[in-house]
Amino acid sequence: MSEDDLSHIRILIAEDQPINQFILKKILGHWKNSPTMVGDGEEAVEAVKQNSYDLVFLDIHMPIMGGYEAARQIQIIQPKLPLVAISAAVSPFSHDEAKEAGLRAFIGKPYQSHEILELIKELA
C-alpha cells in the first residue's frame, strides 16, 4: 500500500452542493478512497449513528441542519470522531465557532487537494 493510499480510511462528507461533492469525491478517488456522501447535517448525524467512520467533513452552510449543529450532535454520539469544517465563509469568528462546536480543523473553499490529504493523514 502506498503512502497516499487512503482506501482503508472511512470518510463521511456532508456537502449540499453537487459540484463540491464531485470535487471532493474526485480528490479522494485519486488516493483510492470512496467516501460516503450526504447532503445535509441531519443526514450526517444519521449516518454516524448507523455506521463507523474515521473522519467526517462537514460543510458549514447546508439546508435542514448546518455543519455546526451536526458537529455538536455527532460529538454526543462519537466524541472522539475527528470532524473537519469546510466552508467558503472563512473568518476568525468561523474558526472560533468551529472549535466550540467540536470541529478539529477548518478548511476554506476553494481548497487544494494537498490540504485535504494532509488533514486526512493528520486526523484519521
How many domains would you assign to the chain? 1
**118 falls within a domain:** no
pLDDT at 88: 82
Domain CATH for 71 = 3.40.50.2300
- Residue carrying C-alpha cell 466552508: 87
pLDDT at 52: 96
**52 falls within a domain:** yes
**27 falls within a domain:** yes
**Host domain of residue 88:** 11-109
**95 falls within a domain:** yes
* 23 three-class SS: helix
pLDDT at 1: 42
**121 falls within a domain:** no
- What residues in the chain have per-residue pLDDT under 50? 1
**103 falls within a domain:** yes
